[in-house]
Every structure is written in structure tokens, then in C-alpha cells.
Chain A
Amino acid sequence: MLNPDQKLNPNLFDLAVEQRTTREGFGEALVELAEKDSRIVALSADLRDSTRLDLFAKRFPERLFEVGVAEQNLAGVASGLAAMGKIPFLATYAVFSPGRNWEQIRTTICYNNVPVKLVGAHSGLETGPDGGSHEALEDIALTRVLPRMTVVVVADYEEAKKATHVLASLSGPTYLRLVRDKVPMLTSPESPFILGQANILWRGENPVVTIVACGSLVYHSLLVAKKLAKEGINVLVVNNHTIKPLDTKTIGDLARETGAVVTVEDHQQAGGLGGAVAEFLVQHQAVPMELVGVKDCFGQTGTPAELIEHYDLGVEAIMTAVKKVLERKNN
């Protein structure tokens, strides 16, 4: 059942659950931050409306720098601003940043060790109708391997808001992953958000599998937990918003408790959340594991729901993965 300590949205399982975008959460939080701290500046690469940097641009036009369609320059200019004591947020689509400008992020931001805040909107299959060229399925992998980088994937609007505030306060480079579409409001303003601390959203009695999810598929994982409970299979659902630094304490403890783990993400199976969890568990608490993610291919045009279904990331696919890992655990 839902963990009461998490103060989740009580209407979470309603069909008519309220939905909002994570981009809005980010855009609103950035304005809140900038009102209190003059060091906050923002950079746009000609996508200010769809990243919701427009909210910041309207309120603080002097502190918004437009670089045009030039993501390499975006990273370098942000690095220079940070070197002079600013806290720059740069937001664009994830395929372009950290995609196109990865080397500039590596050298001028991470190697140079300056507090630039990257925001990748339009990540994952949920980019939908724009098609495979724009569906960033590799961005967690690209950022996670960079020394000094903190990587956060948010599950809903409220979490995006909280994450934006927390990431601004860190002294190093960070990556915040957002999606294009509206997603169900799972959490409430009162829900806890502590960087590097995974949240247990659902705990069945004597759980037999731990589902570790991130991003908008946390919602699907909760739907799975509810369905499986009716079949007599009790699981844990963890919202692992911080990919790096990974909450190894919680994940290790829960892997030990349940003896099996399923990871769930709208990203390539390779290099993302599943990769991070597997790298840790295989060295410290090896248990059977299944990775729900995109299987080494590109996306295509469709609605987010169609794509999540087609690429085996949805409720059915997660249920299958849970049953499969259980079978492996019991053999």
C-alpha cells in the first residue's frame, strides 16, 4: 500500500488524476529562486517557450541569455558565467544538451568544476509525436558517467519544483531530466525530497520484489504494484529520483529484504538507472534483476502511451518483468 510518510496525492489512482508538466515545475521554481538570489541566470538555445524558460525571461530579461541554436556555445558561455560567480541554468531538449554538446559539458563544466545546471527537456519516448530524432534515450548515460555531475530524474510537477531548488544549491554541475507531456501528480508539496535519498512510495506486506523506478514511469510502477497486490504478489515501489549519487543504502537494504529487483525507466536499458543499480548491486548485494527500458533501438512517432506500450515500458511490461524476476529468484 501507499506509504503514508510520503504524503502522496490521495487521488493518485483516480482515472481523472490531475496532470501537469515537469517543465512547468522547473520554470516556476527557477523564477522563485531568481527572486531570492541574484546569482541565478538562465541560458536559452531558442527553445525558451517549450522549456518554460519563458517564465524567467519575462520576469528577469537582463538575466536571460539567448545563444540561438548553438548548444556547444550554450555550455561554454554557461561555464564562463559560473566562473564569475553566477549560477547558470541552461535548458533545452535533451538530445541537444547533453547530446550535441557533451564534450563542452565534460571539459568546460565538469573538468573545469563549475556549478552549471543543465536541464534536459523532452527526454524519453514521451516526446511522442516529434519522433525518434527528438526522443533522448541516452541522456542519463551521458551525464551519469561524468565525474562531479549530479543526475536527477523527476516523476512529476512537484518533484521538478523541489529538485530545481535543491540542484541550485549544490556547488557542482548538475543535470535535471524533464519530459514533454503532462504527467500525473503523484506527490504533494509536503512530500519529502532529499537529494540522493530514494523514496519508498509503496510497500506491500512481506514484499518479494523491489521495483526501482524513475521519472514518469514511477506512476506506471505504482499501478503495477496495485494490480499485483490483487494477484497476491506484494512488491515495493521506490522512486529513485537521484541517479547520481545513487542511494546505495536504501537500494542495497531493499535488495537484501526482497531478494529481487526490477528497474523501470524511459531510457535505454544500457547506461541509465538500471545500469547504475546493477553496477552497485552486482558488487555489493547481487540479486536477480530485470531491467525495463528501451532495448538498444530508437523511438518513433506516436502518442506517449502508444510508444510506452510498443517499446515494453508500460504496466504490462513491468508486470511481466516482476514475474520473471520472481521466477528466477525462486529457482
Chain B
Amino acid sequence: MLPKNKIDFLMTQAKAIRLSIIEMLVNAHSGHTAGPLGLADIYAWLYFEVLKHDPKNPTWSERDRLIISNGHTAPVLYAALAQAGYFPTSELKTLRRFGSRLQGHPHREWLPGLETSSGPLGSGLAQAIGMVLADRLDTDRTSSRYFYAILSDGELDCGATWEAVMMAGKEKLHNLIVIIDRNHIQIGGDTEVVMPLEPLADKWRAFNWQVFETDGHDFSSLAEALDQAKGNFIQPAVIIAQTIPGKGVAEFEGKFEWHGKAPSPVEGAKAIDEIKHHA
């Protein structure tokens, strides 16, 4: 269990991230709404509780690595990075604009704090595995670094994801921790309609992973899963985080139609009001 003051602090951070996401998307007139809002709690937890990192020294070699496989959720990443101090929050309004460091999908060379350039789905886990293998060679298996990868549930359709899942199990990469944004939607509809994923936990177990199923909006259950994952030295871990796409704005919640579009100024103003007063 996290102490109450810590939970309150993380809730405040998550709320600020959600507000930034809406402002960015309204400004950009395009981008993804549902995924980023649903991930706001997880990003707040990672950047303000979990990650060993230094926003003033983004290339610090001993930092934990966070690999974003679902690059389309860039707004939540950018909001969290800015809030953590990697760049000014005033820059968030440049999202998706010509010349902006906040590219539509994240580009490593444009913005500090990014480990990879991503966008096309299904490649993040493989890259995380490569990083862990390098870490293992360099530290002779005594590493104090953790490698986190965030995957969407939609990209579990990709065969390449499962090639990587199989390899991480084979290599027993214990300091690799995957978080799946299990929001049950993808661009074309419900994940179980487009391409059924269940029984999802069983699939990962079958590939020799340690599996945790949590509420992705509950900081204490996320923390508990992570603690247990870190206590296992022979398996990689996956946290299947159940999230509500569009979380925080009733109008957006649970609707796949909000996967890939941005709110209008009127919808945005209503959303901001709702987040400020209720979320």
C-alpha cells in the first residue's frame, strides 16, 4: 500500500497530465484522446514514483529505461515529461505543429527523455529486450536498472509482439517489466471483436512470464504488482493494467470512436471543466 499523501500527490499529477492532454489535443486539432487519458494514472505513477531518472540529465547512463511501444499515445508521454521537468510545459501547445519537438509520434532525436522513436506498433518490446540483453552483458547480471515497456492491447495483434514475448521468456529477463494498457479498444472497435486477445494472462504465462492483473487507475495495486515483479529473478513480468479509455471525461470513456480523434474546442472546454471538478 502506498501512503495516503503519496496517493494524493500522484492523483494531483495525473489530473494535471489529463488537463494538459486535452489542451494539447484541442490545439493540435488531431491526435489520440482515449489512450492518453486512460494512461494518465500510469504515467503519473511511473514518472513521479517508479522511475529512477533525472530530468536535468536525460542521458544519465544509470537511469531506468521506459520504452513506449504505442507511440500514438504521445500526448500523455509529452505531458508527463514536461511536468517532470524535461522541457517547459509551455511547449506542449506545439504538439503536431510544423517544427515542433513534439512530433505526432515520438522521435528520440527531437526531444530529450525519449529512449526510442516509435509509432508503428509491435516493435517496442523487441527494442526493450535488446536493451536488457546489452545491460546483462555490461553488468554481468548484477544490474540495478529496470527496463519498462508500455504496450497497447491493440498491438498484441502483431506477430512481432509475440516473437519478442517468446524471446524474453527464453532469456529470463527479470529486470524487464511490461505494462499493457488493457483498455479493450483499438481504432476499429472493441479488441475482442477486431481480434480476440483473451485469455490474455494465460497467453503470457504460457510464454514463461510472471503475470499481474491490476486496475490501471489504482496506484496501490500497481505498486503491489511491481514490488512482486521485482522480487522475481528468473522471469520477465507483465502487468496487465485494466484501464478505461478516455478516463476522466464521461463523454469519452469507453468509446473506441475516441481512439484516434481530438476534441473540438467546445468538447475540450467541457472536458477540462469536468476534469478540474470531478476527476
Contact = CB atoms under 8 A, between A and B. Distances in A.
Interface of A: 41, 62-63, 65, 67-68, 70, 72-73, 75-86, 88, 103-104, 107-108, 111-113
Nearest to B159: A72
Which DSSP category, helix, strand, loop or mixed, fits chain A's interface?
helix
B117 interface: yes
A217 to B, nearest CB: 35
A83 B116 contact: yes
Given A84-B135, A107-B117, A108-B123, A70 B130 contact: no
Given A67-B167, A72-B163, A83-B115, A41 B137 contact: yes
Chain B contact residues (Cβ within 8 angstroms of A): what range?
20 to 34
Contacts of A104: 123, 126, 160
Interface of B: 67, 107-109, 115-120, 122-135, 137-138, 159-160, 163-164, 166-167
Among B108, B115, B130, B166, max chain A CB count under 10 A is at B130
A68 B118 CA distance: 24
Among A68, A84, A103, A111, max chain B CB count under 10 A is at A84
Given A73-B164, A73-B167, A76-B160, A107 B119 contact: yes
Nearest to A107: B120
A78 B130 contact: yes
B200 to A, nearest CB: 20
Contact of A103 (B120, B159, B163, B164): B120
A67 B135 CA distance: 17
B32 to A, nearest CB: 18
Contacts of B163: 67-68, 70, 72-73
Given A76-B126, A112-B117, A113-B109, A68 B134 contact: no
A115 B123 CA distance: 17
B129 A80 contact: yes
Which DSSP category, helix, strand, loop or mixed, fits chain B's interface?
helix
A108 B122 CA distance: 11
Nearest to A73: B163
A212 to B, nearest CB: 35
Contacts of A72: 122-123, 126, 159-160, 163
Contact of B116 (A79, A81, A103): A79
A73 B160 contact: yes
A72 B119 CA distance: 15
A107 B123 CA distance: 9
A230 B156 CA distance: 64
A313 B76 CA distance: 55
Nearest to A112: B117
Contacts of A77: 126-127, 129-130, 133, 164, 167
Contacts of A67: 163, 167
Contacts of B118: 107
A85 B129 CA distance: 14
A68 B126 CA distance: 13
Given A77-B126, A107-B120, A84 B131 contact: yes
A103 B117 CA distance: 13
Contacts of A108: 116-117, 123, 126-127
Among B116, B127, B128, B131, max chain A CB count under 10 A is at B127
A79 B167 contact: no
The 5 closest A-B pairs by CB, nearest first: A80-B130, A76-B126, A84-B134, A73-B163, A70-B163
B139 to A, nearest CB: 11
B134 A85 contact: yes
Given A67-B167, A68-B167, A104-B123, A76 B137 contact: no
Nearest to B69: A76
Contacts of A113: 108-109, 117
